[in-house]
With several copies, the nearest count.
Chain A
Amino acid sequence: MLFKDFDPLKEEMLQILDQKGNIVNDKLVPKIKKATLMKMYKTMVLGRIADDKAVQFQRQGRMLTYAPNHGQEAAQLGSIAAMDDNDWLVLAFRELNAMLYKGVTLEQSYLYWYGNEMGAKYDEDVKVLPINVPIGSQINHAAGIAYASKLNKTGEVALAFIGDGGTSHGEFHEGMSFAAAYDLPMIVVIQNNHYAISTPRKKVIKSKTLAQKAIAYGIPGIQVDGNDPLAMYLAVEKARERAANGDGPTLIEAVTYRMGPHTTSDNPKLYREDKEVQEWAKKDPLIRFKKYLIDKKYWSNKKDEELQETSKKEVLDAFKKVEKSGLVDLEDIFKYTYEKLTPNLEKQMNAYKKYLDEVGE
């Protein structure tokens, strides 16, 4: 129904909560448990602070690179909140909020950007794939996860994220085609933040909407206000129903905006106007979500102040631990290449240890 009503050819964007935080589509408001809403919001607050702090730490020379997701929180949290615990999260690299919601710790997340692989060793029961840097290639992983789920009838659904720029990649196309071919339980959320590094989406992608790319795969697509957590939740909830019913994958375009730089090495002033950024600041998902929760009497400004404080502390604590983490052990760069260290690797490692011993480093 939803996917018929919002057939991407109509070029209508699903929105439930407008940028002021008012419900504009009463009938569509999804039923979300209070606990879920609050978890979404608390993650959003934590995620926002963690994000802004990471950039700050980097400016201070304490963090390496970081890819901020300030502004894109609702696109992620609306999505992940609509999934089951048993589902999988398949990352691109700008999904701090989705990761936190799904059980990746902030410390792990920071540790990764700090330059330590241990930051990608999420806890055993956390069904999240490591950050995926080669653009688009994660879609094929999600398709494979979904295939296994379907074959073994586990009921798991794979939720994957990708950027607007990523939809031009061959890997995206192949993953979508593959998942569609077998009606796999996969949901792909495109975070259309309007830029791929410096390159505007409109300049290099000619499809009218990114949601329309779904037609090429014979699956539903929908364009959603990505800064509206309720709309995102609804779209993913319906997509998940489809997936669970064996109806196959769904493509969701979340229209959002990256408020910060591409990464901390990027200078967005080179390619976009402040005015544009200001316009999008008004659409901040955090502000509208908070208003919604306060209107609903689930939340208050006072509680929010407390939350800001505790979250800030949590962020600083996590980073403190990360800063204390030190360097990676020599053994660690060798021992995960194969299940067992090969004689060749052992030789290389020992020769290097000998060098360190002799030179006394």
Chain B
Amino acid sequence: MAVKTILQAINEALDQSMEKDDSVVVYGEDVGHEGGVFRTTAGLQKKYGEGRVFDTPIAEAAIVGSAVGMSVNGLKPVVEMQFSGFSLPGYNQVVAHVARFRNRSRGKYHLPMVVRMPYGGGVRALEHHSESLETLYAHIPGLKLVIPSTPYDAKGLMMAAINDADPVIFMEPKRIYRAFKQDIPEEPYEVEIGKARIAKEGNDVTIIAWGALVREVEKAMKQVDDIDAEIIDLRTISPMDTETIIKSIKKTGRVLIVHEAYKSFGPAAEIISRINEEAFFYLEAAPKRLTGFDVTIPLPKGEHHFIIDPKQIAYELKKLMAEKA
């Protein structure tokens, strides 16, 4: 065991995956020599050479599109979009190809690739550096969308993503890249993709979150001692672990979904719909969402309005509990 941040855990996952499997290559803008603007890939080029770890031109379509070709031809590329806001020029490749190669070729080709991208606000960043674009990736069939919230999961999910036979979009909650440490195994391990984690068991209400928001939810719990909430860390946004969610709702009858993505047509809507479909008559109150507003996430001097903090979570939770069944 060793004490690691999420950033270090991801770095270790990449390192151990590359060590074990020669077909893993890692690249993107500033990913090679410098080790990434967040230093997530630090040390890898030195260890594995410029062939397997390299810097690219500023060309997201090329980064994603070349990974398609590499996957077809025997490699397992792990590419980085420098920020999720800059993944959009590569979005055509993701939707048109990454998500579809298996189906298009009826299984002849499949793409064991990972697209990493730091995402989310709360880091006082420039425009396009704070986006939460889960919906854009979760809505597309053929993709998996994974988001860790702890160092343990970060390493295990990343290793699972690299070993997955399907393409995985891996969003990294950059706000908590270095926020805290956790003791995690030094040896390689996987955390299963497609399974949510019960971060805390409880009976009164279910709270669903992922990424940096899981911690905020946990902090909020300290402000509502009297509420016995079950916290689900979704971990895989798509394909979603509906079963775990439904089981929890059947127990608690109430649900609050917390995410930073824009509210309308956002991820919470899908969760609510699945709950409606499978546990409607168990609901004791209307499912609630606490999300980013439907406005462009503000620059730092206005960001505090947008960012969801524990106080707000506690407030919504109390309101939700106050609704009578």
Contact = CB atoms under 8 A, between A and B. Distances in A.
A197 B52 CA distance: 20
A165 B30 CA distance: 11
A122 B74 CA distance: 17
Contact of B106 (A115, A133, A148, A332): A332
Nearest to A149: B73
Interface in B64-123: 64-75, 77, 85-86, 88-89, 92-93, 96-97, 101-110
A117 B51 CA distance: 35
B65 A117 contact: no
B243 A337 contact: no
Contact of B58 (A142, A149, A196): A196
B36 to A, nearest CB: 9
A36 B313 CA distance: 58
A198 B68 CA distance: 25
Interface string A330-350: 101110111100111100110
B127 interface: yes
Interface residues of A, number: 85
A137 B61 contact: yes
Interface string A155-174: 01010000001101111011
A129 to B, nearest CB: 7
Interface string A60-82: 00001100000000000000000
Contacts of A90: 69
Contact of A115 (B61, B300, B311, B315): B300
Nearest to B112: A339
Interface stretch (A94-102, A223-231, A311-319, A352-360): A352-360
Interface in B263-317: 263-264, 293-296, 298-306, 311-312, 315
B287 to A, nearest CB: 16
A198 B107 contact: no
A339 B65 contact: no
B230 interface: no
A349 B293 CA distance: 8
A146 B69 contact: yes
8 contacts: A65-B125, A117-B302, A133-B127, A134-B88, A166-B58, A339-B102, A344-B239, A344-B242
Interface of A: 64-65, 88, 90, 112, 114-118, 120-122, 124, 129-130, 133-137, 139-152, 156, 158, 165-166, 168-171, 173-175, 177-178, 181-182, 196-199, 203-205, 265-266, 270-271, 325-330, 332-334, 336-339, 342-345, 348-349, 352, 355, 358-359, 361
- Which 9 interchain pairs have the tightest Cβ spacing? A144-B69, A140-B65, A115-B300, A328-B302, A168-B57, A144-B66, A148-B73, A174-B62, A198-B34
Given A121-B105, A199-B30, A199-B34, 13 more contacts: A134-B97, A137-B61, A144-B65, A144-B67, A144-B70, A144-B71, A151-B25, A171-B61, A171-B65, A174-B65, A337-B103, A339-B166, A345-B295
